Structure 1
Amino acid sequence: MKHDCHYHPGDPAKWHCGECQVHYCTRCMPDADIRQRQALCPRCNKAMRYLGAATEVVPFWNRLGAFFRYPFHSDPLMVIAICTLVPVIAPANLIGILIWLVLALALFKYTYAVINHTAEGHLKPPSVSVAFTGSGFSIVILQLLVFILMGGLVGAAAMLGGPLLMMLALAFVVLALPASIMVLAMERSVGAAVNPMNLTRLISRIGTPYFLLYGYLILLTLASGVAQDFALNHFPFWFSQPLSGFLNSTFTLILFHMLGYLLFQYQEELGFASDIQDEASEVDMQQRDRSTRFDADIDMNLKDGNYDRVQGMLKEALKRNRDDPLRIGQLYQLLTAQNDITEIFHYHPRILGWLADRNDGEGIASVLAMLEQVEPGFKLDDPDLSVRCARCLYHRQQFKPALRLLQDFHKRFPDSDELAPAYLLVAQTLANGMGQWEKATAFLTFIQKQCANHPLHEQISVFLEQAGKREPLKGPKATFVAPD
């Protein structure tokens, strides 16, 4: 069943809190331990259930093309080639029969490994080594026992209830065969694979898609039979035999991959959780940035309308790191949305510095207007911040707010190194922005007389010459000519 995140509709849920009945996506749970499948609910702090890819997996009927491409990856192709071609060139004696038997067991083992591999979220085939190494060959004996017990079930039905009960039992066995194969592949238990109640429960939990898959499996089986029959009747025996074996192995891998994918698709209904393993790289808990948990909490509280709580969280964060630009920006956006002018006044130095770093002249003008409401005639008490903000306002053609910021700068900050840059900016604002050349000349003359030791002093004559000609005050032109 598909569940969307409570806070991010459209994003598939990865976690579910049984206490709060809330679904969360990966953005809400950046600090969750996916490897251990452990996470605590942000609301109640209780352990949550991991949903894996159950809510985002593509239905099997939408990836039929991928199923048919599956056997043509390098690993399954090698398995099919070895198990098909080697018996052809094997000697026609006891050794050849043993080779054929071993390779048949290897292919059988590989097909069952495909179910497990796919159900665990691996959409790429298992490696070649899975077929020829390690344990798992016992699956052949288990499957034979399943077939024997199913045949015994049909025979017992015939003996107890006659032909009618036998046909019903046979119909159930044929219908439940894919479910039996899936159970056997996952649990390696003959009892579970032949238990009618167990198989009925699996089919009922999957529901209608099981019967849709069953139809696809019948078509695949028929197609495989037709293809093999065509090969045997239209090609010479030396070619048709390996081709028929190749086709049979290919269709078998497609069939078993589809069974594994059905388990993967309905993992939530079947009571387990798997995630797509081939595309996502997991991050260890030790490597996670704890700030992402903080951002997720802010996001969720904002969507729940807990604005005061978010404000408190941001204030606490700024106590730990007073110049954190991310938290300053978040606090500014929250206070502006709430029109909380009092708090904006309290944090105005950091907010204005953040806006100046972003060259946000409109934002600076808006904040200054709010500060004027709290304190008429408001003036910044930081000369450097005053010049930075005024420069942003000038470049955004906010000329009057820029001039107000720098008004009486020489009286307020007589010993500041920013005096010359401040009044040069005033002159540029008056001349370039407002066309008041005489006033601009007066400020340039002040710099020339009062700031003789400032590095800008030697450029003032050029600015005065430009002001006399009513040219834009841009300063000396750059030159790339090396002196003699």
Structure 2
Amino acid sequence: MDYCKYHPMDGATYYCRQCDIHQCDCCVNDEKNKRHTLHCFLCDSVLESLGSANTVTPFWRRLNEAFKYPLNSSSMSLIVITSLLSVIAVVMPFLWVLSLVLYLFAAGAMLKYSFTCLERTALGEMKAPDVMEAYQGGIKLLFQLILITIVMTVFAGLAVYFVGVALGGVLGVIAAVSFPAVLIRFAQTENMFAALNPIAAIGLITAIGLPYGLLIVFMLIMITSVGVLHEWIGAILPAGGVLVQSVVSNFYTVVMFHLMGYMLFQYQQELGYSARSDEDDEQSERSDLERVNANMDVLLKEGDYERLVGLYYQAFKQFPNEANFFDRFFELLYVCKKQTLMADYGLTYLEFLLRKKRFDKLTSTFKQITLLVPDYLPDSPAMRVQLATFLRQQGDLKPAVKMLNGMHKLYPDYADLPAAYTLLAECLGDLPNMQAQADKCRQMAMQLTRRAEAKKVELELQRQARQTTVAPPTGGPKVRRGPPAAISSGLTLELVPLESPVVDKA
């Protein structure tokens, strides 16, 4: 049995010849294409289907489903109708020709349907087939099956006659044990001579192994239980017992043929063919999000970090609100200690947390980043102010001061610089021996406020000047107007240099 390389506990359903690896349904690229083929995430080669041989549930663990197999309106209607026809054929012996025809038709239809169930189950169809296929070729099939039974019985009798009772009895037992294999071969080939080929029957039994014996035991138990049920029904319903007995027999026949077909499906790899269960095919199609997740898992387990990083950045654009991608990529960079990538991705992740209002993770994430990149500061004035606010609330004053210090040089056009320096002054004021620096920051905040107001007034005057138009005198030459006279705001801005905060040595 082959297992998935990336999920060692799961059976493989596909094989990549290019990479020489086995994969399960979760680890393949099932994106729709014109050829309806599945591809390998690593090399993009077309995958070979292994069927359900490695994932199928053993038939001895599926007995409940086997007995539910005929429980549908179509199958039960056929079972009841053929049982009723068989009873009618038995109770009117005076019309023996009509009785024989009815019995042959009923038995042939039931056998034909049972063999169809075996064939379809072996190909992975776990739902009972349409009963319309039971009405074609049933009588011919019945005679062929009778002839096969006669041939095997004659063989056992001749063995007893020519080689003695002991050895003949052994050969008879072998013939009886081989009978299900003969039925299976007959269902597969629809050829009586191919079904009676002892080498083919022995090959089938050998390929399946001990579970074939287990199937024989189940079939014997079912046959015995049918006899017990017949006696029980006859005692309770002496009048209508024959009909109920016939229904039970036909029901068990369908179940047994379904089990034989399922055994073939289970050991398809040993028997040299490949089939997938229709229950697997009915699984809902994966979304693009699930497919990208599967691709990431494969690349991660392969250690292909370069392609994995590229796939993550594509996912950020394709799924900008999917927290799973952002969180997993951050953890990946942190665990793998990718300093350069972390310095580049840190701001993206912090902005994502802020956008999703996950404020509780902002400061802890920043501290994780600084453990990997000690001098890291986000290259965004708004993010710095936001982080400094939360750090101050948590009592982490020194990181908050470091976050805000020098912002007037780094981001001179930032609109909220006055508020940033007001916050910086508050942080410094809460630190011991930093009152002087706090006062300087307050002065800086006041000057920045005045400069912002002056700039706002200047921009408003410029806007009004652009909107004002003077019409030239009628009939006179156009007069070229000079530029408007410069208007002084009357404010001078002298930034007070901010000294680095002094930290007491412990």
**Runs (5+) with no aligned partner, structure 1:** 455-484
Aligned partners of 2:394 and 2:118: how far apart in 1?
63
Cα offsets for 1:314-342 (capped at 9, x unmatched): 24764897787576655543332222323
1:314 maps to which of 309, 313, 321? 309
Shift in Å at residue 214 of structure 1?
0.7
Instruction: Give the alignment partner of residue 188 of structure 1, picking from 187, 190, 193.
Output: 190
CA 1:385 to 1:166, structure 2 compared with 1: closer, same or farther past 3 Å? same
Q: Does the 8 Å contact 2:42/2:299 carry over to 1?
A: no
Check conservation: 1:67, 1:254, Cα contact below 8 A: yes
Alignment of 1:84-123 (within 5 A): 84-88=83-87, 92=92, 93=95, 94-95=97-98, 97-123=100-126
1:38 to 1:322, Cα distance in 2 relative to 1, 3 A? closer
User: Per-residue CA shift, 1:230-260, capped at 9, x if unaligned?
Assistant: 4345533x41210111121122122222212
Q: After superposition, where does 1:266-305 map in structure 2 within 5 Å?
A: 266-278=267-279, 280-281=281-282, 289=288, 295-304=293-302
Report the counterpart of residue 335 of structure 1 in structure 2. 333
CA distance in 2, matches of 1:320, 1:43: 17
Contact 2:29 2:39 in 1 (8 A): no
Equivalents in 2 of 1:56, 1:424: separation in Å? Answer: 66
> Closer, same or farther in 2 for the Cα pair 1:342/1:227, shift >3 Å?
closer
The CA distance in 2 between the partners of 1:99 and 1:427, in whole Å, is 103
Q: Following superposition of structure 1 onto structure 2, how do residues 29-68 of structure 1 map, counting pairs within 5 Å?
A: 29-31=28-30, 39=38, 48-68=47-67
CA drift at 1:203? 1.0
Give the secondary structure class of the aligned counterpart of 1:23: strand
Distance 1:423 1:147, change over 3 A: farther
Q: TM-score normalised to the size of structure 1?
A: 0.74
Equivalence map 1:164-179=2 (5 Å): 164-179=166-181
**3-state SS of 2:53 partner:** coil
Alpha-carbon contact 1:114-1:253 (below 8 Å) kept: yes
Deviation at 1:26, TM superposition (A): 1.6
User: Could you say if the C-alpha distance between residues 185 and 428 of structure 1 is closer, same or farther in structure 2, counting changes exceeding 3 Å?
Assistant: farther
Aligned counterpart in structure 1 of residue 403 of structure 2, from 385, 402, 405: 405
CA contact (8 A) 1:311 1:334 kept: no
**Aligned equivalents of 1:315, 1:149: Cα separation in 2:** 69
Query: In the alignment, which residue of structure 2 is the partner of 1:23?
Result: 22
2:241 corresponds to which residue? 240
SS of the equivalent of 1:16 reads: strand
2:137 and 2:348 mapped to 1: Cα distance? 65
Residues in 2 aligned to 1:188 and 1:35: alpha-carbon distance in whole angstroms: 36
Q: Distance in 1 between matches of 2:413 and 2:33?
A: 59
Residue in 2 aligned with 1:260? 261
Q: Which runs of 5+ in 2 are unaligned?
A: 457-506
Task: Give the 3-state SS of the residue equivalent to 1:27 in structure 2.
Answer: helix
Q: Output the CA distance in 1 between the equivalents of 2:33 and 2:379.
A: 50
How far, CA to CA, are the matches of 1:126 and 1:368 in structure 2? 65
Which sits farther off after the overlay, 335-344 or 400-409?
400-409
What whole-Å deviation, never above 9, does each CA across 1:375-402 have from its counterpart, x for those lacking one? xxx6544334434555665677755434
SS of corresponding position for 2:22: strand
1:246/1:323 CA distance change after superposition, 3 Å:
closer
Q: SS of the counterpart of 1:5?
A: coil
Query: What is the Cα deviation at residue 117 of structure 1?
Result: 2.8
Q: Deviations over 1:417-437 (max 9, x none)?
A: 344665676689789999x99
Q: Residues 428 and 179 of structure 1: is their aligned pair in 2 closer, same or farther, counting only changes over 3 Å?
A: farther
Secondary structure of the corresponding residue to residue 7 of structure 2: coil
**What are the Cα deviations for residues 294-322 of structure 1, in whole angstroms up to 9, with x where unaligned?**
65454334334x3xx31354247648977
Task: State the percentage of identical aligned residues.
Answer: 27
User: Which structure would you say has the larger Rg?
Assistant: 2
Distance, in Å, in 2 between the alignment partners of 1:338 and 1:60 is 46
Output the CA distance in 1 between the equivalents of 2:412 and 2:19: 62
Number of aligned residue pairs: give it: 440
**Residue matched to 1:140:** 142
Counting only pairs closer than 5 Å after superposition, residues 285-434 of structure 1 correspond to structure 2 as: 289=288, 295-304=293-302, 306=303, 309-315=304-310, 318=313, 331-357=329-355, 359=358, 360-361=361-362, 362-373=364-375, 379-387=377-385, 389-390=387-388, 400-419=398-417, 422=420
The corresponding residue for 1:212 is 214
Shift of 1:277: 1.5
User: Shift in Å at residue 194 of structure 1?
Assistant: 1.4
Alpha-carbon contact 2:108-2:140 (below 8 Å) kept = no
TM-score, normalised to structure 2, is 0.71
In 1, Cα distance between equivalents of 2:389 and 2:111: 76
TM-aligned CA deviation for residue 109 of structure 1: 1.6
Residues 323 and 350 of structure 1 are in contact (CA less than 8 Å); yes or no, is this contact kept in structure 2?
no
Quote the offset at 1:19 in angstroms. 7.0
Q: CA deviation at 1:191?
A: 3.0
Is the Cα–Cα contact under 8 Å of residues 423 and 443 in structure 1 kept in the other structure? no
Matched-pair contact (CA < 8 Å) for 2:419–2:445: no
Which whole-Å CA distance do the structure 1 matches of 2:430 and 2:229 have between them? Answer: 84
Partner Cα distance (1:433, 1:11) in 2: 59
Shift of 1:183: 2.2
Q: Which amino acid aligns with 2:29?
A: P
Q: Determine the structure 2 residue equivalent to 1:457.
A: none
For residues 85-138 of structure 1, what are the alpha-carbon distances to aligned partners after superposition, in whole Å with 9 as ceiling and x for unaligned?
355568944555534432322222221122123223333333444434x67765
Contact 1:365 1:398 in 2 (8 A): no
- Deviations along 1:203-230, one digit per CA (max 9) or x if unpaired, are 1111111111111111111111222234
